[in-house]
Amino acid sequence: MILKGIAYYFLIGYFCLFTFSVRAQDQRVADSLSIILQKADLYGVDKLELLYNLAYNEISDFDLKLEYAESLITLSKQYDNQEYTSYGYFQKGNAKQFIGNLEDAITAYFKSAEVARSANLIPVEGSAYGAIADIYDISDNHENAMLYYRRAISTLRKTNDSVALASFILNAGDALLTNKNYDSALVYFNESGELFQLLNYSVGKAYNLGNIGMVYANTGKHDLAEKNINEAISILEESGSYRPICVYLVYMADIYISRNDINKALSYAGRSLELAEYYGLKEQISDANLKLSDLHERIGDEAKAYDYYKEHIVYRDSINNVEVVQQMADQRTEYEVSQKQVEVDLLNEQKRTQRIIAIATGIALLLILVLAIGLYRRNTFIKKTNEIIAAEKDRSENLLLNILPEQTAQELKEEGKVKAQKFESVSVLFTDFKGFTKFSENLPPEELVERVDFYFSKFDAIMEEHGLEKIKTIGDAYMCAAGLPFPMEDHAQRMTHAAMDIIDFVAESKASKEDVNFDIRVGIHSGPVVAGVVGTKKFSYDIWGDTVNVASRMESNSEPGKINVSESTYHLIKEEFDCSFRGEIEAKNRGSLKMYFVEGKRGEV
């Protein structure tokens, strides 16, 4: 079975999550530094740097890694050092993710991004976005994963941190691999491979080789897959990165299953389980047990297959439901102890009569059968329950994200409320259909809603394509903003591109449908706004300020099929777009305002 969320198993935290210098994590470094921490009397930045390096390089004891990260956060806050505070939250996210606590992990990554953004630490901010993308990828939320991968990659391209850039390009390719988009995945892997080669970064090259090997494995090129994965394992063994090795070994088992070499497959799966158990890697223990269960079932050893499957269930469910799994483990332990006692009793009774032995054996087998059936039914129930819980959680998460921007939704979940936030420079767009009110009077309500949904659904897609934020709709009016909840320098240019796409879509729709005669007016203004959430039951993300009012006036003074922009927006876009000055036009309650029509991109005919 092809594992999902490969990034979680080995990409996260081992070489890509906090690469602020060109170096790989090394447990030997952590072991050496721990001695310095105990003996040296360090203060200020020296101690912060030591704690960061300990948290970064500790890859065998995740509780200790978390302890270092928490100490780094506490001390950096005492020194009011935002740089190391963001580092600390990042390493806390890594530690939480390693032990399977994804909710705490993504909370820590969002905090790291927030601190980094306020301190203008672009490499940390970009890496935090990538880590958030990795969490979404693990959770099978492919859409959000790719959104944050693109955000991470675009942010990191502004820096000199080629290792982090290459790593998240690799992770994005891995997300595409998990979703069976093999051609697209190879495009990402080729770019990350070139970057790792230029950097001569051996660990990065190892992961790239392994991932390309997995593409080959999934597309039936098993010889190439085996060659790439073996090279990756060889490099990773030198650096002590055992989590990815465990995953690659399971892939090697799959390759040999396809060749009908079950003994070789058993060897690779067994080696994966040994490493995972030695280093306490729960997910890899679960996957290796599942693979061994499958292999033993193939060779007809049902007893061993069942034993491995039970272990797989225990470790799989321990990530999501510790209490239930603990009860199952207790039951299994009690049963095993009772069975040992039965065996002792049977040996003693053997001295008396063969008849008693036969009866006792029959009873024991019956108990085993009953227990096996009970465990199977219980495991099936737990699996279905977990699937229902996961589906409902995803549903609630998606509903909240459809209402609020992601950062705002996260703050609402953590704090129970959202603080209003001022943005110094954003662009606000309003649209309105000409003659819509008169047209709607002659339509049944169902058809009216269908028409509006047709246009606004496309507008939503345009907003997502350009990275903009839809604010709300009011009747046939559509309102959106650029430059929030994440500030961006090119907000006016993005908004103008989106406005041109809206104009083109409405014109194309009008030309292709005889019964649709809509024309649309568009207005844009740039300036400061205040954003926040209103309401306590039905939440609504909204913006306020004079900028919103002026943007509305730009729309009402526009013409059908035209984009009318204010003077402030014109000065932001004039280098990229041709605009015609309309003069000073009287706007309701605003007096005379300079207005411009956007004629198109510069250089276009």
- 535-573 pLDDT, tens digit per residue, is 655 567 788 889 999 999 999 999 999 999 999 999 999
> Which residues 6+ apart lie within 8 Å of 133 measured at CB?
144, 145, 146, 147, 148, 149, 151, 152, 168, 171, 172, 175
Residue 11 included in any domain: no
Q: What is the pLDDT of residue 429?
A: 96
The count of C-alpha atoms lying within 13 angstroms of the C-alpha of 151, restricted to the half-sphere facing its C-beta, is: 26
Domain end position, chosen among 401, 432, 452: 401
The answer to the question of residue 15 being in a domain is no
Please report whether residue 580 resides in a domain.
yes
Looking at the fold, whether 383 and 426 belong to one and the same domain comes out as no
Integer CA distances (angstroms), 443 to 34, 448, 449, in order: 74, 6, 10
Instruction: Evaluate the CA torsion angle 237, 241, 244, 249 in order and state its sign.
Output: positive
Task: Count helices and strands (H / E) in the chain.
Answer: 24, 8
Residue spans of the chain under pLDDT 50 = 1-23, 320-344, 399-400
Amino acid identity of residue 150, one-letter, is: R
Do 524 and 568 fall into the same domain? yes
188, part of any domain = no
Answer with the one of 401, 430, 449 that is the final residue of a domain. 401
| Residue 422 domain-assigned (yes or no) | yes
Residue pair 78/88 in contact by the 8 Å Cβ criterion: no
In DSSP notation, 494-529 reads: HHHHHHHHHHHHHHHHHHH-TT---EEEEEEEEEEE
Please give the pLDDT value at position 323.
Answer: 43
The pLDDT score that the predictor gives to residue 411 is 57
Dihedral angle, C-alpha 86, 90, 93, 94, nearest 10 ° = -160
Asked if residue 437 and residue 378 are part of one domain, the reply reads no
Based on the fold, state whether residues 484 and 580 are members of the same structural domain. Answer: yes
Same domain, 475 and 395: no
pLDDT at 327: 38
Provide the domain count of the chain.
Answer: 2
Say whether both 347 and 421 belong to one domain: no
Decide: 72 and 91 in contact? Cβ < 8 Å. yes
pLDDT at residue 344 in the model: 43
The pLDDT, as a whole number, for residue 338 is 39
Domain holding 397, by residue range, is: 333-401
Q: Is the previous residue joined to 405 through a cis bond, with omega within 30 degrees of 0?
A: no
Tell me which of 401, 429, 445 is where a domain ends: 401
Residue 416: per-residue pLDDT: 54
The 10 Å Cβ neighbour count of residue 321 is 16
* Block residue for tokens 């935090």: 128
Residues 390 and 452 in one domain: no
Do residues 568 and 506 both lie within one domain? yes
Q: What pLDDT shows up at residue 8?
A: 31
Residue 488 and residue 593 share a domain: yes
Whether this prediction's pTM lies above 0.95 is answered by no
Helix ranges (H only) for 200-279 are 202-218, 222-239, 242-258, 262-278
pLDDT of residue 538: 52
The CATH number for 446's domain is 3.30.70.1230
Same domain, 471 and 533: yes
Angle (nearest 5°) at CA 230 between 229 and 235: 95
**pLDDT the model gives residue 590:** 81
Does residue 516 share a domain with residue 555? yes
User: Which sign does the torsion angle of CA 270, 272, 273, 274 carry?
Assistant: positive
Nearest to 255 by CA among 205, 215, 287, 289: 215
C-beta separation of 584 from 594 below 8 A: yes
**Residue 330 pLDDT:** 40
Q: How many CA atoms lie within 13 A of 245 on its CB side?
A: 22
Sign of CA dihedral 300, 302, 307, 308: positive
Whether 183 is in a domain gets the answer no
For the chain, the 3-state helix, strand and coil shares in percent, each to the nearest 5, are 70, 10, 20
Those residues whose C-beta lies under 8 Å from the C-beta of residue 285, and which sit 6 or more positions away, are 273, 276, 277, 311, 315
Query: Is residue 501 in a domain?
Result: yes
The answer to the question of residue 270 being in a domain is no
DSSP H helical segments within 351-444, as ranges? 354-403, 406-415, 436-440
DSSP state of 5: -
Answer whether 458's CB lies under 8 Å from 560's CB: no
Task: Let me know whether 451 and 589 are in one domain.
Answer: yes
What is the pLDDT, as a whole number, of residue 258?
86
